[in-house]
Structure 1
């Protein structure tokens, strides 16, 4: 492979590998350069990908040995953490090593490309918490994440020792993460385990799915309370994949109420006045990285989720 750099980005040229023979051009570009399908398709549409010197459509099937030339987009600008007060962000516990927060809805864990809203890291910086410098610049101190639309308890590392030990604890599944979710319908059995691999959705960049060959993903659940149209369940995550709870229950045809992205009934969501998934990080337990003592933090339901439960119980 030959590589040159220009003001427009990274230019690369190489023969199409045998393993991609017959694949769509946009899929081949995505696979070769680690891009999303959306980004790859945009490059092809812009004429930034050529086969044997000719611009082709996204649907064009590539042939092994054809010469592929691609101009990749210029690297994104470095993301900077900006201190910004976050209404509703509550500090549950703080010491020299960790800070535990109760995250409100509409707040991301850390800055990311395309996200202009509030973040946990920015909110902590605004109230004077110094976070560990380990990790990528935009997510320093972050050892686990909650979706923007998911509320609840979350821990951030303040010391380098805490970052290292907590990262390892999450990876080794030594942290107990419990969520409460309201899912549509009634689960059968009422208590069980969902063991199904998860990876990016093959057709939708912003979604994840149960797919063959995905990363091992295990979710344990237990029904707490049943309503005519839904169930409140306690969920314990053994793994921590992106959107894991949402994907697993959607796959069982019991999506989280309000989760329109994963197939929730919009009529029920409207009746409960929900504009996001009913999913809450209820409890977090782990060994404190300095003392070794077991610590446990619990978050109460926010107003919108509590209101939805009241409607279901009426």
Structure 2
């Protein structure tokens, strides 16, 4: 059974243990962590605790990650746009419209199905439906993802995400003209109380920070580059809506009248991290997809 240990610092001191543990990996949900606590898989200073335990400075948290179920994802041959691959890590450019991993009711045609056909040696930390997946991007977001091919790589990449040392830059087209050239959005994210399928800025949400730079302004839209400091679900989409500049084409968070793009204009173009085994910093850049380039040209011409 895989184990992960953390010593409580000032950022986690005073936090409930379930919240503290869920911040250790962006892939762990609070409900999943609470189940692990019930099962005695989370200990503080060598002893099991309840979900409402509040962490103190220098507490040692140990999480025993359950063994994944037997792998039953169906491998599917598909064209994968692979930017880098060795025995530890794979970097792939996901197209718009592709789901990253299987979910109930959506078990085929995902990136994971394609990865399983390409190489069966993917890490098992996230269980049967998400082998190798360290972080995700939404179905209609295109761009770069890092995939762990073994558990050593998986834990290293997750630790880098937690430490906020992974470079993740996205390009987006948003409604409205942003007057300032750059900014930072620091607003906690959680489930929308009115719509559990959506995320929102909420007082008791998870810490979330997005930095942005304006790249180009058009008549009614702005092209921006967003850099993630954290990686919460729908973070860029919700943060840009929160400051009044929702993403073009976004069916969930955009205005009723938006561009018909089949989903939000968002591309994960730059991804950088330290190689889990060598420690070398690697950075990759994927060009904008054709529809995104065409959209930019159309907006320029409309000016």
TM interval, shorter chain, is 0.7 to 0.9
Identify the residue that residue 22 of structure 2 maps to in structure 1.
none
Q: Which one of 259, 275, 279 corresponds to residue 288 of structure 1?
A: 275
Identify the residue that residue 210 of structure 2 maps to in structure 1.
219
Deviation at 1:134, TM superposition (A): 2.1
TM-score normalised by L of structure 2: 0.74
What is the count of residue pairs matched by the alignment?
235
Distance change (3 Å), C-alpha of 1:216 and 1:102? same
Computing the radius of gyration from Cα coordinates, the structure with the larger value is 1
CA contact (8 A) 1:107 1:117 kept: no
Query: C-alpha offsets along residues 187-228 of structure 1, whole Å, 9 cap, x if unaligned?
Result: 242210001110011111221000111111100000001111
Deviation at 1:251, TM superposition (A): 1.1
1:113 paired to 2:104 = yes
For 2:288 and 2:77, the matched residues in 1 are separated by: 22
CA contact (8 A) 1:110 1:122 kept: yes
Q: Which one of 124, 134, 138 corresponds to residue 125 of structure 2?
A: 134
SS for the counterpart of 1:205 is: strand
1:176 paired to 2:167 = yes
For 1:107 and 1:96, the matched residues in 2 are separated by: 25
In the alignment, structure 1 segments of 5+ residues that lack a partner are 1-33, 36-76
Please give the residue correspondences for 1:60-99 in structure 2 after superposition, counting only pairs within 5 Å.
80-87=72-79, 89-99=80-90
TM-score normalised by L of structure 1: 0.71
For 1:228 and 1:265, the matched residues in 2 are separated by: 19
In the alignment, structure 2 segments of 5+ residues that lack a partner are 1-30, 33-68
Please give the residue correspondences for 1:38-49 in structure 2 after superposition, counting only pairs within 5 Å.
none
Deviation at 1:265, TM superposition (A): 4.9
CA contact (8 A) 2:123 2:154 kept: yes
Identify the residue that residue 263 of structure 2 maps to in structure 1.
276
For 1:290 and 1:78, the matched residues in 2 are separated by: 27
Identify the residue that residue 55 of structure 2 maps to in structure 1.
none
1:251 paired to 2:238 = no
Identify the residue that residue 241 of structure 1 maps to in structure 2.
232
CA contact (8 A) 1:258 1:265 kept: no
Deviation at 1:118, TM superposition (A): 1.8
Deviation at 1:260, TM superposition (A): 2.2
Cα RMSD (Å): 1.9
Deviation at 1:86, TM superposition (A): 3.4
SS for the counterpart of 1:206 is: strand
Distance change (3 Å), C-alpha of 1:117 and 1:257? farther
1:147 paired to 2:138 = yes
